Chains A and B, each alone.
Chain A
């Protein structure tokens, strides 16, 4: 069983902090397939947060296929996290580097590149979620 923590200054929405902590625990092997996540009541009793926030996080993890809600029993880890192969990783990294070089040629400094990247990531994932 894992225990959630919240960082109220991080600016990351609460449900997303829960999602990230589960992913992290799965990646590190702290949570194995078949393990149960804390119940909604346990989480809200510990963190004093709205139950819907926990439900939203668990739904998102369910949607990703990482966990499975079993009616009347709780939420269980379904699988390990599939990571990209080293080759895929290297190819994506190289493509991103080429894009950064183009941005630099266009006059962007580090901060500008980071801001543009963050904005595009955000809108891409917002559209995906919508």
Chain B
């Protein structure tokens, strides 16, 4: 039996007026994975997430969520997808009991027991009004409401950006507990890379409206190396290292430093080869934008699958 990816897009694009917010985006998100979508502000992260949950219509290409189109078959897709928006929108004047009421009425598969048990564990009384909660508690309530839908796919847009470090840790603990219970695929966008490495098992790097790199974090870390060796002219780099994809390069008079994605071949013994951290890899791919602009003839950005 082949498992349908939780999310699959093909050449997906979204244009606002003459500007493409997202372009030629093809990716697959494995069922059961926890995937981080990273990129600078304006990279198209929110646009992509909104396309997945049917909030906006693609200008080009195709999107499938749990095997279906979110715009054409919303009645099949939406009950199985949970979404936590950036600002954790809740009805501010409502009490939590009233919020649960709304959740129950709007969702066919509402799990009231799960919602109440989670709120009790978080020590948030049901009589409390939403606007009296701390931002960490509001984030937890938004997560609780999304999880009580019993979704198969949970989409979170910058879930921890506005939280202090303690609230951020507690939020991620709750999220990982939910994943440990099984049957849940998570896609979350973020521009904080440091904490993603613990929480996520897959990564998609989005920059300037396109996918720069996608894959399992383990594979990404294993396949990228920092090479330091004798100076090679920028034009010579591609010649000498054609077997690897050069993501980032810098040169002094004597020395050349390259961040490369290995393509199976070994590394020349004259080069010192070091591991790279996830944050460095991400920054290298994001920095590639400016490099491409100055050297448009060289194609270094083919996407690993």
- Residues of chain A touching chain B, judged by Cβ–Cβ distance below 8 Å, are 6, 8, 11, 14, 40-41, 44-54
Contact = CB atoms under 8 A, between A and B. Distances in A.
Contacts of A49: 176, 198-199
B201 A52 contact: yes
B15 to A, nearest CB: 35
B181 interface: yes
Contacts of B197: 14
27 contacts: A6-B198, A8-B198, A11-B275, A14-B197, A40-B180, A41-B177, A41-B180, A41-B181, A44-B176, A44-B179, A44-B180, A45-B176, A46-B173, A47-B173, A47-B198, A48-B169, A48-B176, A48-B199, A49-B199, A50-B34, A50-B198, A50-B199, A50-B201, A51-B176, A52-B201, A53-B198, A53-B201
Name the interface size band of chain B. 10 to 19
A48 B173 contact: yes
Contacts of A53: 198, 201
B28 interface: no
B232 interface: no
Interface in B163-177: 169, 172-174, 176-177
Please indicate which of the listed interface residues B34, B173, B275 has the most CB atoms of chain A within 10 Å of its own CB.
B173
Nearest to B34: A50
Interface of B: 34, 169, 172-174, 176-177, 179-181, 195, 197-201, 275
Contacts of B201: 50, 52-53
The interface centre, meaning the residue of A8, A41, A44, A49 with most chain B CB atoms within 10 A of its CB, is A44
Given A44-B173, A45-B173, A46-B173, A51 B179 contact: yes
Contacts of A11: 275
B220 to A, nearest CB: 13
B262 to A, nearest CB: 13
A14 B174 CA distance: 19
A14 B197 CA distance: 9
A8 B197 CA distance: 10
Contacts of B198: 6, 8, 14, 47-50, 53
Contacts of A46: 173
Nearest to A44: B176
A5 B229 CA distance: 37
Nearest to B181: A41
Contacts of A47: 173, 198
